[in-house]
Amino acid sequence: MRLFLFFSGFLFFTSQIFADSYILLQYSGDSLEVSNESLNVISTHPETFLAPLSSEIDENSGLIFWREKIWTHNDSGGDPCIYAIDTATGEILQTLTIKNAMNFDWEDISQDEEFIYVGDFGNNRGTRKELRVYKIPKKNIPENGNMEIDSVDVISFSYGDQQDFTKRTNRHNFDCEAMVSLGENLVLFSKNWADQQTKVYLLPKNPGSYEVNPYATFNAEGLITGAALSPDHSLLALVGYVDYESFIWLFSNFEGNDFFSGKILRVNFPELVFVQTEGVCFISDEQILFSCEESAEQPTLFLVNTEVLKAIAMSGTGAFLSTDIVISGMPSVVSKKLKVDVLELPETNFSFELRNTRWDKLFVERAVKKKNQKKFKLTIITRDLKNGLYFLRISSGEHTIIKKVRVEH
């Protein structure tokens, strides 16, 4: 099983040095809210672990690692199925179909020693009053081969702090796409569209119907779309995106489910733009996989190493290692023309595109940068575009970068 990748360009230290190396944020015992003023933030880019994933899971959402396989599912409207993926090839090895379930909006998956939990709690409109988690016994799942499961237990719940169920698509604080298993409870992390925080709820694992209320709130500065605990429960990872860019929050040195009481690190991925990151899991105590569904990237599994991330944080530079495509002069706002200098490319041939927020291709051109040419001046006419956000995508060989630009006349 090929799970271990080497990372270049970093200086490695012992894990003991890492233990106290990055800035911590203390969680106040008399307040449920946590601010981010003193957090350490770094930027990097992940390794590609598997790409593309099978077209059967192009809307993949949650991830777990079990029996040396990666298990996932599709989100809203998909079949009520869980898929096991080969870690070397990305091939689907098994498909489990839950016959008494429906995939209204499956958003995350978690596990303990005995059960797998699938969260059907997506709530983009904010109108759902009864949400659910399916509880699947592991002992009933064969080592190999597909299987239909006739019936599984259901854990139903509603939010005690939600009184208004008026339709507010992507403008409310009662969506949820992230869940972990911890002790006797499932821990849910909300996806707050309105204020980009995340509320934390405890949901009992026993089948039944529950009303849950938040016990903590964290300013995620983005939309949380997945959660995972390391095998030794020493690290919590929350994955998400903000303004079309992906990130991971890492929490350590916490006690029990008081995740925000210890050390906190935010990892931004500035080259993962318009990439809909959805699922996350640990494949070891130091290695994290996270996934994206079909978006600017093909369905892909990415990998980061927590020791490498801590090393970057320890350096105090927040360093960002770019891909082999280097540009300069990228403006944040343009009116009549977008001009960028292309400095370095992995290959002389490249293409550049301009797309809108629906990922419609508005412009595409191919070009060649001569080997001895210091820079290639790229120009796109934008005077006829409506005001709004757009994306410049440059591709050369296997490398791609995407940058945001706003058109204002």
Cα three-residue angle 305-86-227, rounded to 5 degrees: 45
Comma-separated ranges of CATH 2.120.10 domains in the chain: 15-315
Comma-separated ranges of CATH 2.60.40.1930 domains in the chain: 326-407
Cα–Cα distance, 339 to 328 (Å, whole number): 10
Query: Taking residues 153-162, what's their average pLDDT?
Result: 97
Q: What six digits make up the tokens of 357?
A: 């927020």
Place of tokens 């106040």: 28
Tell me, what's the pLDDT at 12?
A: 29
Instruction: For 127-234, list the strands marked E by DSSP.
Output: 131-137, 147-149, 153-159, 175-182, 185-191, 198-204, 208-212, 214-218, 223-229
Tell me, what's the pLDDT at 6?
A: 30
DSSP labels for 255-280? BTTBGGGSEEEEEEEEEEES--EEEE
Cα three-residue angle 101-107-111, rounded to 5 degrees: 80
Query: Taking residues 50-60, what's their average pLDDT?
Result: 91
Cα–Cα distance, 202 to 180 (Å, whole number): 10
- Residue 397 scores a pLDDT above 70: yes
Strand partners, 249: 238, 266
Q: Please report which residue ranges of 249-408 form alpha helices under DSSP H.
A: 306-315
Split at pLDDT 50, 70, 90, the class of 323 is low
Percentage of the chain modeled with pLDDT above 90:
77
Q: Which CATH class is domain 15-315?
A: mainly beta
Split at pLDDT 50, 70, 90, the class of 312 is confident
CATH architecture of 326-407: Sandwich (2.60)
Split at pLDDT 50, 70, 90, the class of 271 is confident
Cα–Cα distance, 4 to 2 (Å, whole number): 6
Residue 26 gets which letter from DSSP? P
In three-state secondary structure terms, 303 is strand
Tell me, what's the pLDDT at 1?
A: 35
- Residue 282 scores a pLDDT above 90: yes
132: Cβ contacts below 8 Å, ≥ 6 apart:
119, 120, 121, 154, 155, 156, 157
- Residue 112 scores a pLDDT above 80: yes
For residue 36, with 0-12 CB atoms within 10 Å meaning exposed, 13-18 middle and 19 or more buried, which class applies? Answer: middle
* 69-103 residue pLDDT tens: 999 999 988 899 999 999 999 999 999 999 999 99
Mean of the per-residue pLDDT values of the chain: 88
The separation between CA 180 and the C-alpha centre of its own chain, rounded to angstroms, equals 14
